[in-house]
Chains A and B, each alone.
Chain A
Amino acid sequence: MPFIDEILKYDSLSIVGLEKNVGKTECLNYILSRLPLEKRRVAVTSIGIDGENKDQVTATKKPEIYLREGVYFSTAEAHYRSRRLVSELVEITNERSSLGRIVTGKVIVGGKALISGPSSGPSLKRWVKSARDLGVELTIIDGAISRLSSASPAISKAMVLSTGAAYSSNINTLVQKTRFVVEMINLPEADKGVVEAFDPVESGVWGLDDEGEIVDFGLTSSLSLSAVDKDITAGMRYIFVSGALTDRFLNLVANSGNIKSVVLVVRDFTKIFVNEMLYRNFVSRGGRIVVLQKSRLVAVCVNPTAPNGYVLDSGILCEKLQEAIKLPVYDIVKNRYDF
Chain B
Amino acid sequence: MIPFNILVAVCLIYVILLFVIAFAAERRARLGRVGWLRSPMVYTLSLSIYCTAWTFYGAVGYAARSGLEFATIYLGPTIVFIGWWVVLRKLVRIGRAQRVTSIADLISSRFGKSNLLGVVVTVIAVVAATPYIALQLQSVTLSFGVFASGAPEGWALPEGNGTALWVAGGLAVFTILFGTRNLDANERHHGVVMAIAVEAVVKLLALLIVGVYAVWGVADGIGDVAARIAASPIADWPLQPGRWIGLTFLAGAAVLTLPRMFQVMVVENADERHLATASWAFPLYLMLMSLFVVPIAVIGLSVLPEGSNPDLFVLTLPLAAGQEKLATLAFLGGFSSATSMVIVAAIALATMVSNHVVTPLWLSLRQGGARAPGDVRGLVLMSRRLSIAGILALGYAYYSLSGGSAALAAIGLISFAGVAQILPVMLGGIFWRGATGRGAALGLTVGFVVWIYTLYLPSFGPGGLLSGALLDRGPFGFGWLRPQALFGIEGLDPLLHAVFWSLSLNTFTFVFVSLLSFPNPLERMQGLAFVNVYDHGPGPRGWSRGGAEAEDLLIMAQGILGAAEAQEFFQAEAAAQGKADFLPETTPDFIDKLERRLAGAVGAATAHAMIAQFAVGAAVSAQDLMAVASEAQQILEYSAQLEAKSEEVARTARQLSEANEKLRDLSVQKDAFLSQISHELRTPMTSIRAFSEILMDPDLPGEMQQKYAEIIHEETIRLTRLLDDLLDLSVLENRKVQLNIKVANLHDLLDRAVQAASNTRPERTFTYHRDLPTEHIPIITDTDRLVQVFINLISNARKYCDAERPELTILVRKRGGRITVDFIDNGSGIPKTAQRLIFEKFARLTDTQRAGGAGLGLAICREIMVNLGGTISYLPGQGGAAFRVALPSRPESRKEAEG
Chains A and B belong together in one complex: no
